[in-house]
Copies of this chain bind each other. A is one copy, B any other.
Amino acid sequence: MPITEDGIYDVALRLIEADGVEALTMRKLAMALNANPMSLYHHVPNKEAVLRGATARVGSRFSTRDPQHLPWQDRLRHMLLDFRELALEHPKLMTYCLGRAEYIQPDDSFWLDLTDVLAAAGLPAEEIPRVAATLCATLTGLMISELTGVVQQWATLPSAPGGGPCPAPTRPDLDAMARFVLNGVLASVENHPARVPEQG
């Protein structure tokens, strides 16, 4: 079968999730595609573009069926938890791309829905981009920390010099920690000084 751009991104994504981003090589990628390493350069300008393409492919999988009839709190909750689910499905690539710019774009449904929800929450238009940006930053930290394993490591650390280590958090524990952060985010929006609460 011939090489296609999307085929390159798909195989790259598979290799990344198997061995990590740092193990991805143009030569290995070509081998997995049964192609000559140099053939890739006829479909893709360079390695950076491969990583960008794989990232975009994951991003396109984010299908938010944003339930617009629900209260904004529930909509925000769904969005952020959906984002987390997607990140947990592609841990290796997401760990990579959460740490650099450009993984959330202005025309992503995630960004559009997020700003829409914040408008529904009663935030004035000029405040929305900055509040949305801080929410994305918080979400970034939660997911990077969970995906790299630091958060599990921290949660296991002793809280006092003499104390023993805590039991490692299980998946339900991590879910609870994510919801704890989420509740803080919701409270921050609710208490934003410029917010005009919806009447009724």
Which A residues fall within an 8 A CB radius of B?
A: 95, 98-104, 106, 111-112, 115, 118-119, 125-126, 128-134, 136-146, 148-161, 163, 166, 169, 173, 177, 180-181, 183-185, 187-188, 191
Contact = CB atoms under 8 A, between A and B. Distances in A.
Interface centre among A125, A149, A154 (most CB of B within 10 A): A154
Copies in the complex: 2
Question: Interface of chain A, helix or strand or loop or mixed?
Answer: helix
Contacts of A115: 159-160
B155 A129 contact: yes
Contacts of A101: 148-150, 153
Given A119-B159, A138-B181, 16 more contacts: A98-B99, A99-B99, A99-B144, A103-B150, A118-B159, A125-B159, A130-B155, A130-B166, A133-B155, A134-B177, A136-B145, A137-B151, A137-B181, A140-B141, A141-B141, A141-B144
